[in-house]
Amino acid sequence: MNRYLFGLMVVVTTSLMGSSFAVGKIGLVYFSPLLLAGCRFTLAGLMMALFVRKRPRPGNLRDWSKIMSVGLFQTAGVMGCIFLSLRTITAGESSILTFTNPLLVIVLGTLFLGAKYRISQWIGVMIGCVGVFITLGVHMQLQTGTVLGMGSAISWAISTLLVKKWGASFDVWVLTAYQMLFGGLLLLVMSLTMETPKLILGVSAVLILLWLAIMASIVQFASWFFLLKQGDPGKTSAFLFLAPFFGVLSGWLLLGEVIEWFVYVGGSLILIGIFFVNWTFSARTRRKAKVTSS
């Protein structure tokens, strides 16, 4: 894949990921957390299911169970934790905690899939994670929202590895549609059983829901799954370190959340971490290409 197109897709995808935290927090004025997440992904899943109705779908229960597993972690797990965390921490904090998942991808990939990563890649990811926590700020206290933010990171890391393992067996649009639909329906069930649903209908509520369902769900997930299929999950996931920047930036623009000096320090480390992970991978790829050509 052309690296410039890859880079453009990374920016678009991570900006949609990051900004959805601030938009989601605004949406909590009109919806209860799990209800908003459930409506968002059920609507997105239904729209996508109509769009992909002529594309090849899974032909057996085993394949459907794989898609449901992705939906359990990627949609229900990640988004349920995120929207619940927004009740007690800022949109910027929630986004930063969520996007610590690249380190977890490499750890879990090493433990369960036998993936191999170079020492310099591990160093790059560690530098990026240090940057994330500096960006979050040393003032952060352990509270419910913090735990939920980390829960979303763990769930996302698991989903990333599942998509990398199974994704090639499915049409990316079909996978996106039905994992969102299953996850959205599960979130609606959770809303009815785990919270007191709140819904205040109005133009603003509808616009927020449509933005979250179309741009921050359909476009975002399809782009992300496509990128995952293009290369190593650890390498691709390293770019997720960009998303907290968009989360903090959108929190500042839309919610008036303050950006402190340590955000800039942490951001520099995040960019260094991304460089280390991806530069190492590219160098190794070039060496392999030379060996093959000779």
Length of the chain: 294
pLDDT at 256: 86
pLDDT at 268: 80
pLDDT at 137: 64
DSSP state of 171: -
Q: What is the pTM of this model?
A: 0.79
Report whether 22 contacts 169 (CB < 8 A).
Answer: no
Report whether 84 contacts 34 (CB < 8 A).
Answer: yes
Domain coordinates of the chain in residue numbers? Answer: 3-293
The sign one gets for the Cα dihedral 248, 212, 76, 180 is negative
Give per-residue pLDDT as tens, 197-239. Answer: 999 999 999 999 999 999 998 888 778 878 877 766 667 767 7
